Amino acid sequence: MTLKQPHPQPSAKPPRTTVTSGAAAAESPFPDHHRPTPEECLSVRDDLLALHGFPQEFIKYRDQRLKTKSQFKDPATFEPSMNEGEIDERECVLDGLVRTILSQNTTELNSEKAFASLKSAFPTWQDVLAAESKCVEDAIRCGGLAPTKSSCIKNVLSHLLEKQGKLCMEYLRELSIAEVKAELSLLKGIGPKTVSCVLMFHLQHDDFPVDTHIAKTMEWVPADADVKSTYLHLNHRIPGELKFDLNCLLYTHGKVCRRCSYRKQGKKNKEIEDGVCPLLAYS
């Protein structure tokens, strides 16, 4: 399908940044599929940013990225949301990984409750490792899938103690994306999307966790693309400097846009289909 021209941008939209190709990432499994283009990624990012603003739940991670490296080429567009002295210290990588595990197949509210409950019941990761599995399950039950998540967390801790001699993952900050993937792939229960989230949110790497539904809806990948090929294609096509913002904004938009929500469920509703959604211009 021929790409439609994006709708006119609001005058309040932040200044546009210069983007480059994402060709530094692994080669795409769909070399003849030329979407999304860098310009399209930038336009979608700007449309969603003008509509939603930057999602509050991700601001601390964006501030951490700005503090640790000069990620964006237009500082006027991406000023930290807090004063320099007010930016929170980086969350430790192990905390970030456990948060990501707890976020699987549940709401953000429930996963945050589960993490807070876990830290309240077991102040240190040594305490979690030493605890009975049933006790850990009880602490995180509000987040759902407690037996599975408890087993995964304890497996991560056991692996770290055996291989590193301590319950710490800060060494990952010194590794490349490929090296981080190799390390985390050794952990039972840690899948590719969890790895990608850790890379993007907690290690400040330019990586793009996939949403296969949105990618197919926008025709950014072929209709028969699976999760792995979608991940490879999008990380090849999307410019590194746009991956973080674009991912956060697409995630937020998918939650609040009724049209996108219904399309994800395979439902059709005239009122929803006729609603204003900036992604209509790209599909």
User: What are the catalytic residues?
Assistant: 193
- Tokens at residue 259, please? 């049209």
Name which of 39, 32, 47 is nearest 3 in CA terms: 39
Is 55 strand, coil or helix? coil
CA distances 192 to 64, 147, 206, 208, Å, are 23, 21, 15, 11
Amino acid identity, position 158 = S
| Four-point Cα dihedral 104, 61, 180, 210, nearest 10 | 50
According to DSSP, residue 69 is labeled S
From the number of C-beta atoms within 10 Å of its C-beta (0-12, 13-18, 19+), residue 163 rates as: exposed
**Angle between the N-to-C axes of helices 108-121 and 93-102, in degrees from 0 to 180, rounded to the nearest 10:** 130
* 234 token code pair: 């999008």
Which helix or strand (DSSP H or E) is residue 150 part of? helix 146-164
Question: Taking the C-alpha atoms of 262, 52, 104 and 153 in order, what is their torsion angle to the nearest 10 degrees?
Answer: 180
Would residue 54 be called left, alpha or beta, if left means φ above 0 and alpha means ψ between -120 and 50 degrees?
beta
What is the end-to-end Cα distance of the chain in Å, rounded?
A: 8
